[in-house]
Structure 1
């Protein structure tokens, strides 16, 4: 007679709790990186986060298959599950806030770069006036009078 390891509801709950703790840990690290604006380093966490999210979804769906077992679950285990789910929800909310703050900061930075480029473009414009003088040269010549005069008969 072989003994097969059966996936009991208690085992699934323990697995979900461990998965949620791992997910909270990864998301907390992600929040730290977002706040420090170390966006490139976040990519290392994404694969790990995806694996944990998939494991959480699997465990949750297994638990939802038979909701009646929760009534017979050890109260301490039930409370621990509730606590980690609440911690996950709080961490997800913090993560969302950090993501929005980083996005806003990046948008402001990009806008400042665009404005600086446009301002520099205007300053170094190379358009010609009707007299055939470069705008940049005209601006310089009005500041210091040049001893030369353009013969407009040409």
Structure 2
């Protein structure tokens, strides 16, 4: 199917677009859940930037973090900088270690759900491509539908104006 052909089965296209929209909305909900969990952790005295770092470390393959820290220590020593003590006093945590573990686990679960949804979006887009739909056009349709009709009409008018300005129309 070329981009200039008519769509033989518009319902197929609509089905792909709607499935992707549902998945994207679900992904956004999970992202909002993660934001709320981080806000809750912050309200209990935890540093959200440190929690994000912990999540990143926990997502790494076994041993990768230790290797990074070893190399970091070598670099710091080469620059005559003090190497940090890696483990602080757990008693210093305002919310306590069990609350922190709960936040970390909740955030990891949400991150996993977001990853699964992103994989589902990829699968639907691959399915649509296999059915003959152009993925770039499909993404443009999704973007326009997300903006709403009035915004998309304004967007399309701007695109036409820009194309005319550069002599492509």
* TM-score, scaled relative to structure 1: 0.34
The structure having more radius of gyration, on CA atoms, is 1
Identify the structure with bigger relative contact order (alpha carbons < 8 Å, sequence gap 6+). Answer: 2
* TM-score, scaled relative to structure 2: 0.31
